[in-house]
Amino acid sequence: MFQLTDLPDTLYLEILTRLTPREIVLHRLVSRASHAALTRHDLSQALLHVFFPRSLECRILRSQTSFENASTPPDSEPPDWPAIFASVSRRYHNLSLGRFHSHTTIALLKDKKRLRPFAPWNRLLRRDGMSAPLQQHDANWTYDDGVLVYPSPGTPPVLKALDLCSGSEAFVPFDLTAKIIRRMRLSSSVLVIEWAEEEAFHPLNERDVAHRHFATAFDIHTTSSPLLPGHGPAPEVSFRAEWKIHYLGLPLSSHDRLLSAHSAMHYAAYAHQPTRSPWGEDLPLERLVIWALGAPSNFRPSLDPTSSRPVDDPGPEVVLRLANSDLDHWALRQHDTPRIMKLALDEGHVFLQEEDHLWAAGPQSSSAPPARHVVRSTGVPISGTGPRWVDECGAEGDAERSFCPATLHDSDDGRSWPGRAPCWRHEEFPYLTVSEVVDPAAGTRVCGRRCFAMETVSASTALTIPEAPDRAGSDEEDANADAWAGRGEVQFGDDVWRTVMSGAALAGDERWVIGEDAAGDVSVVRF
């Protein structure tokens, strides 16, 4: 008896494109012939190209077929393409419905003596007797490119680097003894840990003492493949360098703040401190310093009482230092009403992203707030010479108070470049977008928004499927079709906020989202 599977591959594939990916996977159960056809590796690869051309797995497949020498090594396990197509189909089906496939909780160290992040600015949003944070503490974990680094409880506590793809983890060789972690950040395969000595170094006045602050960097590399989930070795962690991030040291107080950013080549830090002057000078001390990380260096200034780096050492070196008057020149001085929310770097510039809001309140809020809202990104050349880059985004000023149109600067390239103002923060006014996970290559986005007591987590994808013929379907199928058609975001259930947005940070990519739950532990939600 003739079956559809007996058709030539081109015709059979054309018929399959009239179905949804979920229906194709379910169709494997119809008969033995269907199962045999739909679990063919070549057909699964073709379906991946048709339905999910921007998915991570399909991008890897294209890169492998583009280079003759990129074939799978003979001693490694070949990818299971039928399973990959089913997994990717499930992923985008869940994203289109605002659901997740699995949820994993990873316990975090909760020792406030060892973990003391820098305080955010003393300002918040306030309106009609309600208040909400405008900025929150940095997370005590960090994620980038498939690797999660977190402080693990134990005796003694340690830092671990977990490869979410393979499930393997490694210890970060950083001794927590007599150290206070102020911030951790993983970016460009470089982990930077900002920390202070537990013992005070010298007094600043009768009330405050300074602690020496350092940054320790590690290179982290993974060799696992997204095509072989659950397989692969642990991340490779190697010491990169250590340097002093403040020449005098900082008190462990909520008044001394430091923002930072790093790339594979540079590290930038902005410090904002009260003067503590006995002569009545009250303007804060501000300083922006940039280091070139250089080659790996074994010198550790924390172990040298003089902290004097050898002249011939290849390690981090200061390439730009801007103090109060210099920041005035670049129109970046913050004074008593700081607006800087984030530092960022590209190859040649450091960017300071600022934000102000009509509803901002608190001791450090602006005395002359904007009529509506403004976000701004200002770029300074790392060389110290050249023009200043400024990109600003604010309300259109209409009677409805529409803040930062969602269509402005929303291209993939523009959104990921730090020189663009973060217009996404207020694209759905009066909601504040607290955090977002954007995977530009995949065209996916998950974001958490808050409007005082109202909280929501939403997802959107840029993928589309060929239009299917008219047919009766369930409400779930209709909702799925709407999402596939790209008609906007879909919201997750109310419990997802407590699952991943109890902190201030979201991270991840198209495969998963990492956040913080109400207990202060890391939540990994997989789609």
Please report which confidence band the pLDDT of residue 232 belongs to, taking 50, 70 and 90 as the band edges. Answer: very high
Residues 316 and 190 in one domain: yes
At 88, which helix (H) or strand (E)? helix 81-97
Residues 259 and 167 in one domain: yes
Greater confidence (1 vs 482) lies with: 1
- Residue 203 has a pLDDT of 85
Residue that finishes a domain, picked among 327, 343, 359: 343
- Residue 248 has a pLDDT of 86
Residues 92 and 118 in one domain: no
pLDDT over threshold 80, residue 100: yes
Domain encompassing residue 252: 110-343
For residue 283, being part of any structural domain is answered with yes
Summary mean pLDDT of the chain: 88
pLDDT over threshold 50, residue 206: yes
Q: Give residues with Cβ within 8 angstroms of 390, minimum separation 6.
A: 376, 377, 378, 379
Residues 35 and 128 in one domain: no
d(CA 143, CA 136): 18
Residues 291 and 334 in one domain: yes
pTM greater than the 0.85 cutoff: yes
Residues 64 and 156 in one domain: no
For residue 246, being part of any structural domain is answered with yes
Greater confidence (248 vs 81) lies with: 81
- Residue 473 has a pLDDT of 46
- Residue 413 has a pLDDT of 56
Residue with tokens 């496939």: 101
As a whole number of Å, the end-to-end CA separation of the chain is 40
At 423, which helix (H) or strand (E)? none
- Residue 259 has a pLDDT of 98
pLDDT over threshold 50, residue 483: no
Mean pLDDT of 223-246: 95
For residue 367, being part of any structural domain is answered with no
- Residue 144 has a pLDDT of 97
Residues 12 and 48 in one domain: yes
Domain count, the chain: 2
CA-to-CA dists, residue 343 to 65, 115, 289, 339, 388, angstroms: 38, 21, 12, 12, 15
pLDDT over threshold 50, residue 261: yes
For residue 414, being part of any structural domain is answered with no
Residues 96 and 211 in one domain: no
Please report which confidence band the pLDDT of residue 75 belongs to, taking 50, 70 and 90 as the band edges. Answer: low
d(CA 145, CA 508): 8
Please report which confidence band the pLDDT of residue 395 belongs to, taking 50, 70 and 90 as the band edges. Answer: low
Residues 258 and 158 in one domain: yes
- Residue 326 has a pLDDT of 95
- Residue 73 has a pLDDT of 52
For residue 327, being part of any structural domain is answered with yes
Residue that finishes a domain, picked among 311, 343, 375: 343
For residue 352, being part of any structural domain is answered with no
For residue 372, being part of any structural domain is answered with no
Residues 95 and 119 in one domain: no
Please report which confidence band the pLDDT of residue 471 belongs to, taking 50, 70 and 90 as the band edges. Answer: very low
d(CA 145, CA 229): 15
Residues 286 and 315 in one domain: yes
**Is the Cα torsion angle 327, 328, 334, 340 positive or negative in sign?**
negative
Percent of the chain at pLDDT above 90? 72
For residue 64, being part of any structural domain is answered with yes
Residue that finishes a domain, picked among 343, 364, 380: 343
Mean pLDDT of 197-206: 86
Please report which confidence band the pLDDT of residue 411 belongs to, taking 50, 70 and 90 as the band edges. Answer: low
Residues 73 and 123 in one domain: no
